[in-house]
Amino acid sequence: MSDFQYHRLASFSTLLLGTILNLIATGSNSWQGIEDGIYFGLWNVCFQIHSIKHWTCTAWDVLPDFIRSAQAFCIIGQMCYIVSAVLMLFSFFVRALQRSKVVLIVLSLLTFSAACLVSMTVVVMGVKGKDYIYSMKTDTELIFRYFLKGVVLSGLYEIGWSMIVAIVASLVTFIAFLVCFFEYRDITEEPRPTRV
């Protein structure tokens, strides 16, 4: 196996791992919440009925603006993942693409964009989600409405496992970007063949 194949295999495997982790984080409901009360993700919100200790999940009734932006970042990031994975697969099998500087630049930009978009999702969900939860805990009318449903909002703020998975996905995707970038650097440092 040549150095090219090792670099490309390393970047493809880290990109694939980042894609899978991002899909898991995107589809799950445990980004953040209130201990033993409410958890939410990008698509659903889950409540624990306190008297029977049963969790129930529903789609958002009113979608907060920060959730809408996080969804957009996540979807665009996933599209970057897909395009870069397809381009990497083509570069394995199409000989003309294997040592192409343009392909490496595009792969570097796509993987960097995917990592940045996942990071922006985490930042939006982290900052605005925490503000959203604290505003829920101070709204007495909302606390009373949830209390009538059997949901207690007096617990502590918690970061869910989905946000941690998204952070790991972003870091792994940054590693895929670095591998593509170093492969590009190695190709540009090689001496150009001379014609005789």
> Which H or E run includes 57?
strand 54-59
C-alpha to C-alpha distance for 114 and 33, rounded to whole angstroms: 26
Q: Where are the domains of the chain?
A: 3-188
The domain 3-188 is classified under which CATH number: 1.20.140.150, 2.130.10.10, 3.40.190.10, 3.20.20.70? Answer: 1.20.140.150
- How distant, in Å, are the alpha carbons of 9, 60, 139 from that of 112? 17, 31, 40
CB atoms under 10 Å from CB of 12, counted, come to 20
Residue 195 C-alpha from the chain's centroid: 47
C-alpha to C-alpha distance for 14 and 181, rounded to whole angstroms: 14
Beta-bridged to residue 40, according to DSSP, are 32, 45
pLDDT tens figures, 82-127: 999 998 888 877 777 777 788 888 989 999 999 999 999 999 999 9
Taking only the tens of pLDDT, the chain with its 196 residues reads 555 567 778 888 899 999 999 999 999 988 999 888 889 999 998 888 877 778 888 888 888 999 999 999 999 999 999 999 998 888 877 777 777 788 888 989 999 999 999 999 999 999 999 999 888 888 888 888 888 788 888 888 899 999 999 999 999 999 999 988 887 777 766 666 656 5
Q: Which of 168, 166, 58, 174 is nearest to 113 (CA)?
A: 174
